[in-house]
Amino acid sequence: MSRLDSVIRRLRAQRACLNMAQGLVAGIPGPLLELGLGNGRTFDHLRSLFPDREIFVFDRQVAAHPDCVPDDKHMIIGDIRETLPAALSRIGAPAALAHADIGTGDPAVNAEIAVFLGRALPGLMAPGALILADRSLAMTGWKELGLPSGVRRGRYFVYRRT
What CA–CA distance (Å, rounded) separates 28 from 130? 9
Sketch the per residue contact string, 68 through 107, with a copy of itself: x for CB under 8 A, - otherwise.
Answer: x------------------------------------x--
| Cβ at position 157, least distance to a copy of itself in Å | 18
Nearer to a copy of itself by Cβ, of 13 and 87: the residue is: 13
Note whether 8 binds a copy of itself by CB under 8 A.
yes
Nearer to a copy of itself by Cβ, of 11 and 120: the residue is: 11
Nearer to a copy of itself by Cβ, of 87 and 147: the residue is: 147
The HSE-up count of residue 1 (CA atoms within 13 Å, CB side) is: 7
From candidates 45, 57, 114, 133, binder to a copy of itself by CB under 8 A? 45
Cα-atom radius of gyration of the chain, to the nearest Å?
Answer: 15
What residues have CB less than 8 Å from 73, skipping those under 6 apart?
none
What CA–CA distance (Å, rounded) separates 93 from 91? 6
**100-139: which residues touch a copy of itself (CB under 8 A)?**
105
Size of the site for a copy of itself (CB under 8 A): 24
Beta-sheet strand order (sheet of 125-133): 75-77, 55-59, 32-35, 95-100, 125-133, 157-161, 142-144
Note whether 53 binds a copy of itself by CB under 8 A.
no
The three-class DSSP label of residue 126 is strand
Residues found near a copy of itself in the complex (CB under 8 A): 1-8, 11-12, 14-15, 18, 39-42, 44-45, 47-48, 65, 68, 105
